[in-house]
Amino acid sequence: MRARCSRTGVFLLLGLLFSGQLTYGQQREKGKKLWLISIFGLYAANYLDVHTSRHKFEANPILRGPDGRLSYGKALTVKFSIASAAVLTEYLVSRKSSWSERYWTSATTNFVAAGLMGAVAVHNTRVPRPQALGESRGVTGLQWRGPGAATRSSH
């Protein structure tokens, strides 16, 4: 548990350091500041999405562990890598662009993506966690009973 928390902290710190390094030494415009805030929002929304999915069954096979539930480390790595690639692409495109509204477009895109990820995180809080089967009988396994869903168990 402690290793997961420290790993998460490292990812958040790297994201914040990366976003700060992009504009070091440059004049900070309003659009650029808004873009930096949107980067933080994007990383925070991705973290919340992963955190609210912990200990629950995962539909995405890339993020699924061997027991069918979310693999926390894999999910953080994949989601933060995708977010970092998007931010790097935004930076490279805006650096070479002479368009005055370049940072506003990237900030808007990041805020929309963060909003969508936030909606997914809210949905994840409503998904029930799997419960242990036969705890008193010594049976190991998990059972998931979602609203209107079929019973799913794993060993």
Task: Provide the pLDDT for residue 70.
Answer: 86
Res. 151: pLDDT tops 60: no
**Which positions ≥6 away from 141 have C-beta within 8 Å?**
132, 133, 134, 153, 154, 155
Largest CA distance in the chain: 69
Domain boundaries, the chain: 2-129
- pLDDT, tens digit, 9 for 90 and up, residues 37-76: 999 999 999 999 999 988 888 888 888 888 888 888 899 9
Residues 56 and 92: their CA atoms lie apart, in Å, by 37
pTM for this one?
A: 0.65
- Burial string for 48-74 (b: 16+ CB within 10 Å, else e) reads bbbbbbeebbbeeeebbeeebbbbbeb
Q: List pLDDT tens digits, range 16-47.
A: 555 554 444 444 467 888 999 999 999 999 99
Evaluate whether 113 touches 45 at the Cβ level (below 8 Å): yes
Residue with tokens 């509204």: 101
